[in-house]
Structure 1
């Protein structure tokens, strides 16, 4: 995988495996896993499949295919251990990713890492106060404004942020819909309660027949309480303008003032 770092030919070469291999390469040179590699090791699902392994070193390293090297000396307070590897902490990892990624993916990373419970998005401002001239730190205010660690998947964050960037009001996240007795009928990914509009992101697991049937049964049950459920998938994220237009039209039609 890297010089003197090997893996069985049948082993998966996902980012987790590639990151562990990268750590073995730099372990004795003072290296630490950072960026998407650190996020993956910590259990935050925010990295794209094609992301290279990422390490930080206090000195230069010869270029290696599939490896992103940052020349930096990570402070001990910013280092944690995960899967027998030294990695940057959740907050430090979020700080690094939020400054370099585009806005939507920066929010995805912050949501996923903050959901681990180690920090609040607003805590990133403390990092900025310590290094006010760091590249990309000015955009943190917008990232923090859009972040919501209650999001349970990167796709859910992308959908919510996409709707907001298209001009829609921010929806409620992981909203509990109650019946007339206060019992929970359902918890939906996103919601506009005043319009009784629920929005769900359906990943691949929702295509399984049993899950599909349960989803439709729940949608029918919610409709009996006046709620309409919109379900979106991967293609709807890619066409976010059209998706937002559909949501906007329904909000206008279902808002209390429309009656």
Structure 2
């Protein structure tokens, strides 16, 4: 496949090339490739392109090839490619990934596809012998389509594993007149504690200024906002991050709350 020399060879670009390679073999983009073209941000940076084909096909470096026939009802068109639907993509990923990354994938795909995670269990009822489907109960229990980023999901699950209460997701903070002052990534309303994950967009000066004004509005209502960055969400730092949140929660939770 040929591409401009300055093109970033991200998962979308590699998936488009994979589809061209497999187009005449009945190819359908699946797994992380399907998620990427559906606009669901859940794949690791080094994820290979993934394609399902109906005929035997030789392996290629950086390409995961699955021998399978995908039913027409599980296929949609994106970027002039055939890709699995959000629900089918979630079904495929949730059965093979570890628990945390499975929940990350289901959160992102359920949000984009506007389906309830419980639909995965309904699908399992029709295919009870499918590999990995017995673990879907745990994935569905933890999934929340309101989550807006993989890091938000990973942090939410880290707090749960640490024994802290599950925070509210994309929580709307209202004033005494029920006017929505802000919507925060994760919240403990009783403690008036908000936890925000700041991706790259939050370093834009205009966005940064907007965030600070919003933090001041929340402070006027007695809320404390903790801002976390990419480094705070690294596996090596997650324990420290959770400890900071635990400390704030302990200081701010009313007695008996």
> Could you state the TM-score of these two structures normalised by the residue count of structure 1?
0.93
Question: Which one is further off, 28-37 or 238-247?
Answer: 238-247
Match of 2:74 in 1: 78
Match of 1:240 in 2: 238
Q: How many Å apart are 1:67 and its aligned residue?
A: 0.4
Match of 1:47 in 2: 43
Q: Does 1:209 align with 2:211?
A: no
Match of 2:14 in 1: 18
Measured in 2, the distance between the counterparts of 1:185 and 1:119 equals 28
Please state whether the residue corresponding to 1:121 is helix, strand or coil: coil
- The 8 Å contact of residues 91 and 118 in structure 1, kept in 2 or not, is answered as no
Unaligned runs of 5+ in 2: none
Deviations 1:201-253 (A, max 9, x none): 01122223333233223222211211111111112112222211221122222
Name the count of aligned residue pairs: 255
Question: Which one is further off, 112-121 or 81-90?
Answer: 112-121
Measured in 2, the distance between the counterparts of 1:242 and 1:36 equals 30
Q: How many Å apart are 1:183 and its aligned residue?
A: 0.9
Q: How many Å apart are 1:64 and its aligned residue?
A: 0.5
Match of 1:112 in 2: 108
Q: Does 1:136 align with 2:132?
A: yes
Deviations 1:140-162 (A, max 9, x none): 11111111111111111111122
Measured in 1, the distance between the counterparts of 2:85 and 2:135 equals 21
Q: How many Å apart are 1:258 and its aligned residue?
A: 6.4
Please state whether the residue corresponding to 2:206 is helix, strand or coil: helix
Match of 2:253 in 1: 255
Q: How many Å apart are 1:198 and its aligned residue?
A: 0.7
Measured in 2, the distance between the counterparts of 1:10 and 1:215 equals 34
- The 8 Å contact of residues 87 and 120 in structure 2, kept in 1 or not, is answered as yes
Please state whether the residue corresponding to 2:21 is helix, strand or coil: helix
Measured in 1, the distance between the counterparts of 2:21 and 2:203 equals 40
Q: 2:168 aligns with which of 166, 172, 185?
A: 172
Q: How many Å apart are 1:176 and its aligned residue?
A: 0.8
Please state whether the residue corresponding to 2:55 is helix, strand or coil: coil
RMSD of aligned alpha carbons = 1.5
Measured in 2, the distance between the counterparts of 1:229 and 1:244 equals 15
Please state whether the residue corresponding to 1:87 is helix, strand or coil: strand
Unaligned runs of 5+ in 1: none
Measured in 2, the distance between the counterparts of 1:252 and 1:258 equals 11
